[in-house]
Amino acid sequence: MADRRTFLAGGIAAGAMAAGVPARALSGAPGQMTAGPVEPTWNSLVAHYRYPDWFRDAKFGIWSHWGPQSVPEQGDWYGRFLYMQGHPMYEHHLRTYGHPADTGMMDMQNLWSADKWDPEGLMQRFVKAGARYFVSLACHHDNLDCFDSSHHAWNSLRVGPKRDVVGTWEKAARAAGLKFGVSNHTAHAWHWYQTAYAYDPEGPRKGERYDAFKLTRADGAGKWWDGLDPQQLYTGPHMVAPGGIDSIAAMNAWHDRHDGQWIETAPPGDDTFARQWLLRQMDLVAKYRPDFCYFDDYELPFGRYGLAAAADYYNRAIGWHGDIDVVLTAKQLKPRARFGLVQDVERGFTDHFWDEPWQTDTCIGDWFYNRARFTNKSYVGARAVIQRLADVVSKNGNLLLSIPQRGDGTIDAEEEQILDDLARWMAVGGEAIFGSRPWHIYGEGPTALQPGMQNEGGFKGFAEGDVRFTTKDGALYMLMLAAPSGPLAVQALGRRALARAGKGEVAAVTLLGGGAVPFRQTFEALELDLPRGLGTVPVVRIEGRGLV
């Protein structure tokens, strides 16, 4: 791991005014940058940040990635794809809600009822399933703030549930003894929504622009959205498809070239959206004091604005706790950034041990509820979740797992079963997870993992012989990702490997939830005679002088 001081020697420090961000470091009130030692520069973030112990101990969080895109029960990115003729979500929207020139994503937001939502009941399930921190989606690419937002009128107190979703989750999580987090995805709303300004290139309504292109605040008079400006929701026409595109393929190609990329900058020539994003983010952390904040961005969004948001969050945390006892995650971090933030690896793997704490986030289904996952029984089951948890924790990481909710706030019977299965395993195997630390190696086995983001879809599964190690309270734990069908030989625990690592010998092996395990420690391997029918990810505790 590179030395933190390497990144402090560059002399790139600059204050908020030099970075072009209005400092307004006055009182710490919502909408004002908080005064404190952390400045909006990478040097300052790196100099002041330390990974909090609570995060390193927690290991497992559950995420409510829930909002108005859960209403149609079609999965992810509904608010973009409903405006792309030929896409299955466009066809669903046309059949179910009407043409997107008449009924668009703003109407979906108002249909988000949350009328059967039981936050306390769900939180009890999450705690039993092993969650040590809980994360609420605060705002997604659909640009609805799911909280009591002071800087964005399109929020869940005025639209849809008419409730402070984040605030309600926060109370339930803290009452259950969990750390509380929020996720902010809205930096991408401006380019994600440009399809809403397009039109059908084919068919009976060819060329008629969708709702975002034509609606103004004045059009809401006497309607449910009276007083709200659709252009503030849809973000404005920054990259609008020109007229004359006359085929679905050509329209899709235009979007792919222009607004279909993952863009980390502000709208061209317009910093208004970025400034507003900063105000909303500062308001969010000021109101709910989250222990954890997730940015759906590569490094920090909008350059100087993202730096300002990070500095504001860290300075507020110093005021709350006396130190920066919080976690801020982002993706694709450069080496310097991993000292000032926590790296998040979305739906992906790492093939090596990390010196610094990190996190992977994934879901048992689509990010937003997809009824097809229930009907065709395609959820990721508890066994795969536990395997993933063991792999990540052995490499010094945490796992954040999303459990999709329907628009009414409920989860389905398959999801309930997965949570119940997790709870049963955690009651026994959690001893090897919570409060643990990595060993000198993460494990061994035949399965080679491909590192990177968004690559879990091609993963074929773990095999017999794939084992992972953790340590806690002087004991070494070995988690078997696939239950062995016969005797298991672990080379990393043979006398030769242990001697090379400066470790001692094995004195006792105990199966968690069982009893003593017969073993033989040879020069080449530790051989275990395990009972048959062990089930999901069996764990043994290994004791001996000098093993950890």
Q: How far apart are CA 61 and CA 438, in angstroms?
A: 18
Contact 484, 539 (CB under 8 A): no
pTM attached to this predicted model: 0.95
Q: How is the chain split into domains, by residue range?
A: 443-543
Per-residue model confidence (pLDDT) at position 24:
43
pLDDT tens for each residue of 59-75 = 999 999 999 999 999 99
| Cβ neighbours for 156, distance < 8 A, ≥ 6 positions apart | 112, 144, 145, 146, 147, 162, 163, 164, 165
pLDDT at residue 119 tops 50: yes
Assign 8 a pLDDT band (cuts: 50, 70, 90): very low
pLDDT (0 to 100) of residue 304:
94
Beta bridge partners of 528: 488, 519
Residue 28: how many CB atoms within 10 A of its CB? 16
Q: Tell me the per-residue pLDDT of 268-317, one tens digit each, with 9 for 90 and over.
A: 988 999 999 999 999 999 999 999 999 999 999 999 999 999 999 999 99
- Pull the structure tokens for residue 337: 């950034």
Tokens of 224: 């449910």
Q: How do residues 242-257 score in pLDDT, each as one tens digit?
A: 999 999 999 999 999 9
- For residue 318, how far is the Cα from the chain centroid? 24
Tens-digit pLDDT profile for residues 480-535: 999 999 999 999 999 999 999 999 999 999 999 999 999 999 999 999 999 999 99
Please enumerate in sequence order all residues whose Cβ is within 8 A of that of 272, keeping only pairs 6 or more positions apart, or say none. none
Half-sphere exposure of 323 (CA within 13 A, CB side): 8
| Per-residue model confidence as pLDDT tens digits over 126-144 | 999 999 999 999 999 999 9
* Per-residue pLDDT tens digits for 75-92: 999 999 999 999 999 999
Superfamily the domain 443-543 falls into: Golgi alpha-mannosidase II (2.60.40.1180)
Strand duo 327-331 + 342-346: pairing: parallel
Average pLDDT over residues 40-56: 97
Q: From 146, 56, 172, 193, select the one nearest 407 (Cα to Cα).
A: 146
Residues 179-205: what's their mean pLDDT?
Answer: 98
Beta bridge partners of 417: none
Beta strand extents in 403-442 (DSSP E only) = none
Looking at the DSSP assignment, which residues form a beta bridge with residue 476?
471, 542
Which backbone phi and psi does 2 adopt, to 5 degrees?
-65, 150
In which order are the strands placed within the sheet that holds 526-528? Answer: 488-490, 526-528, 519-521
**Which phi and psi angles does 506 have, rounded to 5°?**
-80, 135
Are residues 84 and 255 in contact, defined by beta-carbon separation less than 8 angstroms? Answer: yes
Residue 248 phi, psi (nearest 5): -60, -40
**Is residue 31 very low, low, confident or very high in pLDDT (cuts 50, 70, 90)?**
low
Longest C-alpha distance within the chain, in Å?
Answer: 82
